Structure 1
């Protein structure tokens, strides 16, 4: 089938499929005489697998790395997806129950304890995600640890000082618009810094920014440089990632 047909079936944009082709994540089996992409049944199955990974917030670079491994097992991956999605559904069901009970509490129909008000909130690592990372590895983290471990004490100290300077610079402009030129220049410095000690794709960079706000431990540490910095960085990182996607 042609790209437009596949996009309609999968519920994604033609531009997304073009992007997957450009980065080598989903290259169609062939092209017709007019140069149009023609996708096979095998391509369709690969796209389904990609979208399962995306639903679980895996960055594109990580998906490509996993699926291109010689020992990649599609059935094993599908079983892993199922476990992870079941855990996600369990948490969402609990959150919905908490919302329903909170509405009743607001109406005076019931009285919730403080603990009940936070039932379902869990920012710890998903055990199935950890299992997946263990199975397929986490190259970015491994590379970062290895690179830092090889540095001298002086180099590590300089890296720490650079980290501190970047955060102070970002804190100084945290009240500006995240999509302003000033904010984008500053957040690029942070992106470049991270890629000195590891390899962060734009998707991973955006996901990291989301974690700054989703995980209160990150928020607390970052906001020591200035209240609201974590939210500002998340938004600026998202803008940077979206603007620079090829």
Structure 2
């Protein structure tokens, strides 16, 4: 049996925390000496270490009370549910941070009167994720062709306060898209992460999708409204699928659509040509290169 001071040293918890967990009912009331000092058993210590572990994982005390007495399968189910909750929280904090960064940057930019664009533009970056690179679930070397121009475009856009909105595939077992394609960009995996060469920076936005169309079941529309955006420059992967479907949806929602010709690509040249033709002929979207758009930002001209 060990005193509360010894238990605190073993577990890394403070005596106040240990007493608090006791009062909350997470551990049984300890035995006491004649002088009323608390004495803790090995079982008590192991339980406290479990509580500390679950607190590190950001479970609430009420949730921990259930977990401590749950069988392994129920604990696993709770972990999966909690992972989704944490993901939502991270997205909310990331969004709030991006909004603050965008606001502060725009104030600075406006005070310098550096850029005069008639349209409020955002860059849409679709499915720039590791599963498209060598070794990934949907690897394709054509992805590499768009990374250098996008690096330069994104860097200049950030300097000028142009919002960059990443729309990323994020799948879980049972998603309808997985019936068509092999498993890819599975939530929480390396393959679902954004490629380092075009990785987000502070102030950028990340929106997850499970379907081809980036507007469906996502916060994209809400984000664009908050940013007061009216023009979208599309970049990213699969000209003929996710880029086309999201761009066409944007058109129907009233946005002016611009396609970065060297900033989009797909699995084959014929598929890319089809996607560009579909958007160009049917919707007459504006086309420009990443360099043209960058020069627009630098020289205060506009193609839009």
Same fold (TM over 0.5): no
Q: Which has the higher contact order (CA 8 A, sep 6+)?
A: 2
Larger Rg over CA atoms: 2
TM-score (norm 1): 0.33
TM-score (norm 2): 0.28
Higher helix share: 1
